Structure 1
């Protein structure tokens, strides 16, 4: 089953009166005004999703910047979004699904089916001249059941011992350790392969076709049956990488703590350079 829905398909659902839960995850690292952007214009019927309050919890630095919410908290959030069992859910952002993929992954991790990313996000909706709604929208509470565990996760120990392919979804300069704007140490987990999420997208920020993504991941060593895990800075854009892998026909585990957790654990080694040939710690 495809994980993507395009604007024409979404518009057709809405026009036909088919029940569709719309979630707007307007979040970009460094921009704290996502809710304001939502209020100024969103797809009619969409409920705002707060990355920090609803798609993450808050713990110790060694847990990372965006630890997963507890199952109980996320269950309450899902009901607040108005999701019922069997509903079709469509999630979008304004950043090529980089943030929306976190909600997509969490709903899938919770065992909820029929969850789609709006390919290209809000931009193609605007480009089609379709209406936008202003202000806050809320939903009648839903009854969907949340049970964590439908997708695989690993922790820091699991990442250290990972025997398969470990993909680093951050920008190449962060992987190489040339810059580190957010976390206490620069570099990457030894043995990880650089795979920036920006390379999953076409210029219009829609996902590349499945065959192209398949070729991309094959070049990184991913093959049918490979054990694959993904991390990023704080477990957000890694979900985007997992979405791209699923489009290409591969499954992958998420390391939710990601680099923000690893780099806050002084005993963990850090590699730098394009080939990871310099290891410290």
Structure 2
């Protein structure tokens, strides 16, 4: 079996597992649609009173938060708890004897899960795209850069998630570290509020972190507020990628040693 075929099957496994959970899949789709509807009602009410949020028009904010929900679904890191459970229950052994990296297996499988999850939000998102089609960029390059930044954001979240999951072999669970990551990411990524609306000191911290790649930066391409990346942004992204990848690989090796030493 070729490497490409192997990973394609792992990817399809992630999609199959998500689709098999039919009722939960329906609830997830309904919840996402309701969340989007609430945001639309809220921001419409705010702007009807004559308020203005920074330089954003009502249409821009609605587009921002609609795509933000989509990225939130894609960047979910709940797989951390599954890895932690496998470590606790001794179910990791099956992956140690397979001729494939567990980190690669986990990443590709989870990407399949995320694709299936995004599909659950396809209908309301399509409604947003159709309704605001004249406000969205018509440049193919903008959408390519949006997709590329989103994929990089997914990699960042996945590497952070793997790091937290590996702490399970030293601590009871990674919930504390995971919750800290979620809170930090929620604030600095631009998911809660666009980065350019943050106080200057907080926006500066955010721009030196990897979190804008998770939400804020991709959405700037959607709104047409960004045409590319600065050298500084590329260097920041590269440094964080190298640090996170190295840390995740080292944490995995140490976790395996401790896992095997424990006789699991």
Q: Is this a same-fold pair by TM over 0.5?
A: no
TM-score by length of 2: 0.29
TM-score by length of 1: 0.28
Look at both structures and tell me which one has the larger radius of gyration over its CA atoms.
2
Structure number with the higher helix fraction is 2
